[in-house]
Structure 1
Amino acid sequence: MYAVVDIETTGNGPKGQKITEISVLVFNGEKIVNELTTLVNPEQNIPAFITNLTGIANAMVRNAPKFYEIAQKVEEITQDLIFVAHNVNFDYNIIRDEFKSLGFDWKRKKLCTVRLTRKIIPGLPSYSLGNICSGENIPINGRHRAKGDAEATVELFRRLIKRDQHFIINSFLNPRSRQATLPPLLDKKTVDNLPETFGVYYFKNTAKEIIYVGKANNIKQRVISHFYDKKKKEQAMCMEIAHISYSETGSELLALLLESSEIKNKYPKYNRSQKNNNAAFGIFSYEDQKGIIHLAFNKIKLVSNSITTFYTLAACRVFLEKICKEFTLCPKYCHLQTNVKQCFHHQIKECKGICCNKEPVREYNKRVLKAIQSVSVALENIVIKETGRFANEIGFALILEGVYQGFGYIDKELDAQLQNPEDYQFYIQPKRDNKDVQKILTSYLQKKEGLKDLENGKISI
């Protein structure tokens, strides 16, 4: 026995949707044997666009029962039945949330007529209820009303049962089958064919627009975990997933770097973190009309030859203050002070040098050049070598003068021939350096150094 269900809601997003109408039709596989259909007072405003779609207005539900008043009826009429709906997770999760708000843990076995239709009637241009019913000549008496859509779903389900020559419905009801939990628009074969490797995966909607980018140590396992997540954001996203693509990376580090880059470039709907392209600031030097070398900072795109790069103005100032202290430079000529006669900074002792005409320009400039040289020496050229995607290659990330250049893959034989970090820049996929990438690389290098110390017996646990 089945409970074929359709609901209409206020449509206020996954966190705020409340039921405005519900229809539960008890179906024995041949005919409807019981029914519960009623408007529901959602206890919130129904937006105008929802009224235009469904015809359900605030006045119509004002005297309708609230959900808690019909909850026992819904519980009783669906008890021991299989919950069937078109895009089942939508209806099921909203009803379950209504019960949850009443302190009741409501659960039923589920069947999705979208997924069943995709398997039993493959190749349709669209699997929306309206398009399927149009193609199958199934009348809908009241589109976007709960009873009209539920009756159409019953007739569609009855036809699917008749055409099910390969026991697909039974396989969907198998406790070990994940069919009922997969997004309704997604083909199971797509998930079955995902690799179990390091990489980045892309969720796409029916228009093949990327709506989410994720990193995984096991792509297949991580993708499936989204479908079991009970968070409403995840549920809303899963309702839109129609396609999945992926890029294998060979290692976790390269997956993290690719994920960060793709989020910033694609700007997916359901990614929150790492979307912002953090503005970079460069420390640079110049010589004024008196021959004095200044240190200053500005946006990196306005700096031709930066000495080093930071991602906040505060970090630039902290760095320059440190340089001032270490090499006894003038805060005024490091642009830590402006429009002052006496050189004094709240964190740096009073300057008795060049700005007070107490030392020659040449002597002062020597210290500035030493400061610049110390920074240049500190900026390392690093090739971080990782496992490749195939047995005969390595993956690598490249840092030149402290700036992330990108990552790439080369044959192991070629790797043995390259002598200097600079040689690897011809084999990379160029990527932008930014604050998020620096966090990823810093965390990785610190962890790697810690593991090296552990191997050498320098760390005790």
Structure 2
Amino acid sequence: MGSVTKKSKVNVAETLYAIVDIETTGGSVSSSRITEVAILVHNGNKIVTRWSSLINPEMEIPLHITALTGIDDAMVAKAPVFAEVAEKIYSLLKDKIFVAHNVNFDYSFLRGQLATCGQPWDAPKLCTVRLSRKLLPGLHSYSLGKLCSQVGINLKDRHRAMGDALATAELFSMLLSNDTEGLIAGMLRKVSPEQRLPANVPSTDFAALPECPGVYYFHNQKGKVIYIGKAINLKKRVASHFTGNNTTLRRQNFLRDIYHISFERCGSELMALLLECTEIQKHWPLHNRALKRFEAKFGLYHYVAINGYSYLAVGKLSKQQGCLKTFDNEAEAVRFLADKSSFFGVDTRFCRYGNAAVFQTELPLPNIDEHNLNVEKLLNEIDESVQQFALMLEGRDQNEKGIVWVENGEVYGMGYLDNSLDGDLNQIKEHLTKCRSNYYMLKLVVGFADKFPHKVLYPIISAQRQLA
């Protein structure tokens, strides 16, 4: 038989693995430090080298960390700082497969602290959480302590580096013996997207993602949606969440919380954007923060005072009071009111420009009927600028089209309809899913209509005036 080169096959029994566990002062690579390291060199059959050391983190160890690990400031006071053992750590990790339970945590800390010591290092990784889910399916929990208890591994010195590393090594040996189909070798032959996934996310979830526009959902362990995003290419966008060098505590907690990925296909980027907006409003996921920035904050109001005169006023939006128009900011609203009041001859004494001072004059007040008529003309123009229109967009396949319906200045609804409904506007409207419209969604749709007028089912008159 001819020999097989290493490029075509990985012999796991001849590969050296560095099985690692660390203890730290916290969860953030940027603001926390390592307090203990244990490295076991494993040749695919047994442990051949053991090394561990406490590390002086050069910062105080928080009390809750001491309560968890038993490592306090006094224990590390005379221990070496990381720079003093960096060369030793590098020599043990160099040219080996890096193995750890929830591998990205240990890997990111060691990679970051080695880099600060002038030791750039990169290595292929194996996560015993992910491997256990595949090779030991159906267990209640895959945390190290509970997993060891379920498979009969005696875990001593929990939350100390050497104790956890020894348990991980025994677990890894068990996984190697259970790997009858060459799963580990297959993962090492190539840099698989699965290797980049958070430890708790099933690879089948990622594999199911299509390369098309849509909305994706990240769920926590209980199934609750914790993040919603939109994408032009679902698979590519989701993968981007799990790459890069962002090692902040918030990102690490975010990745650790993800247990499941689901998605909804869309026919176009605009439909994905609108669905993302409606779904965020529906779920308000823990890790979505950006959408609130795009909401309108000011409005134009009309009221009739006890003296019978009509007034126009710029003010902050209120859930209890409807307004004529909404605006991104106060300056935009004031500018609109100033321009329109001048054009229609509305006396500025009957306009309230937010926090701006009201112009005063000794001139007599205008005739009440003439003044109110001028205000009415202004209001009529605002009403006339709010047109109803619909957009025809790409469907999810050739047999359907996407529809977005705007009515009375709001996104009424959207959906996908088969081509048999073409041209029947009333029937189209009945088949749409109603939306909880907001300013940001309307701005997206009107901007799209102005940019792509051939997508509009029937003409709209100066669509941009709705947001002027």
TM-score (norm 1): 0.87
Q: Which moved more, 1:239-248 or 1:48-57?
A: 239-248
Does residue 291 (structure 1) correspond to residue 296 (structure 2)? The answer is: no
Please tell me the residue identity of whatever aligns with 1:302. Q
Indicate if the aligned counterparts of 1:300 and 1:309 stay in contact, CA closer than 8 A: no
What is the deviation of 1:282?
A: 3.9
- State which of 24, 35, 46 in structure 2 corresponds to 1:20: 35
What is the deviation of 1:425?
A: 7.0
Name the SS for the 2:291 alignment partner: coil
Distance 1:339 1:19, change over 3 A: closer
After superposition, residues 82-161 of structure 1 pair within 5 angstroms as 82-161=97-176
Q: Gaps (5+ residues) in structure 1?
A: 453-461
- State which of 199, 206, 212 in structure 2 corresponds to 1:184: 199
Indicate if the aligned counterparts of 2:417 and 2:431 stay in contact, CA closer than 8 A: no
What is the deviation of 1:318?
A: 2.2
Does residue 259 (structure 1) correspond to residue 285 (structure 2)? The answer is: no
Q: Match of 1:389?
A: 396
Hey, what's the Cα distance between the residues in 2 that align with 1:351 and 1:130?
82
Indicate if the aligned counterparts of 2:114 and 2:121 stay in contact, CA closer than 8 A: yes
Hey, what's the Cα distance between the residues in 1 that align with 2:161 and 2:355?
70
Name the SS for the 1:296 alignment partner: strand
- State which of 233, 241, 264 in structure 2 corresponds to 1:247: 264
Please tell me the residue identity of whatever aligns with 2:347. C
What is the deviation of 1:437?
A: 2.6
Q: Match of 2:448?
A: 444
What is the deviation of 1:53?
A: 0.6
Distance 1:338 1:173, change over 3 A: closer
**Percentage of identical aligned residues:** 39
Q: Match of 1:225?
A: 240
- State which of 334, 349, 372 in structure 1 corresponds to 2:379: 372
Name the SS for the 1:335 alignment partner: strand
Q: Which moved more, 1:209-218 or 1:287-296?
A: 287-296
- State which of 303, 316, 339 in structure 1 corresponds to 2:321: 303
Indicate if the aligned counterparts of 1:250 and 1:387 stay in contact, CA closer than 8 A: yes
Please tell me the residue identity of whatever aligns with 2:321. V
Indicate if the aligned counterparts of 2:314 and 2:354 stay in contact, CA closer than 8 A: no
Distance 1:271 1:331, change over 3 A: same
Hey, what's the Cα distance between the residues in 1 that align with 2:205 and 2:93?
32
Hey, what's the Cα distance between the residues in 2 that align with 1:160 and 1:147?
20
Distance 1:351 1:441, change over 3 A: farther
What is the deviation of 1:384?
A: 2.1
Hey, what's the Cα distance between the residues in 2 that align with 1:80 and 1:266?
46
Hey, what's the Cα distance between the residues in 2 that align with 1:339 and 1:74?
65
Name the SS for the 1:74 alignment partner: helix
Hey, what's the Cα distance between the residues in 2 that align with 1:418 and 1:189?
41
Hey, what's the Cα distance between the residues in 1 that align with 2:423 and 2:173?
66
What is the deviation of 1:133?
A: 0.4
Please tell me the residue identity of whatever aligns with 2:304. E
What is the deviation of 1:297?
A: 4.4
Q: Which moved more, 1:281-290 or 1:75-84?
A: 281-290
Structure 1 residue ranges (4+ consecutive) displaced by more than 6 angstroms after TM superposition: 337-340
Deviations 1:270-322 (A, max 9, x none): 33311458465443333334432222345353335x33223434333222111
Q: Gaps (5+ residues) in structure 2?
A: 1-15, 457-468
Distance 1:339 1:205, change over 3 A: closer
Q: Match of 1:39?
A: 54
Q: Match of 1:174?
A: 189
Q: CA RMSD in A?
A: 2.7
Indicate if the aligned counterparts of 1:310 and 1:316 stay in contact, CA closer than 8 A: yes
Distance 1:402 1:153, change over 3 A: same
Distance 1:116 1:426, change over 3 A: closer
Q: How many residues align?
A: 438
Q: Match of 2:23?
A: 8
Hey, what's the Cα distance between the residues in 1 that align with 2:124 and 2:239?
19
Please tell me the residue identity of whatever aligns with 1:369. E
Indicate if the aligned counterparts of 2:193 and 2:239 stay in contact, CA closer than 8 A: no
Q: Match of 1:431?
A: 436
Indicate if the aligned counterparts of 2:55 and 2:79 stay in contact, CA closer than 8 A: yes
What is the deviation of 1:440?
A: 2.9
Hey, what's the Cα distance between the residues in 2 that align with 1:338 and 1:46?
50
Hey, what's the Cα distance between the residues in 2 that align with 1:246 and 1:430?
19
Q: Which moved more, 1:437-446 or 1:321-330?
A: 437-446
What is the deviation of 1:185?
A: 1.0
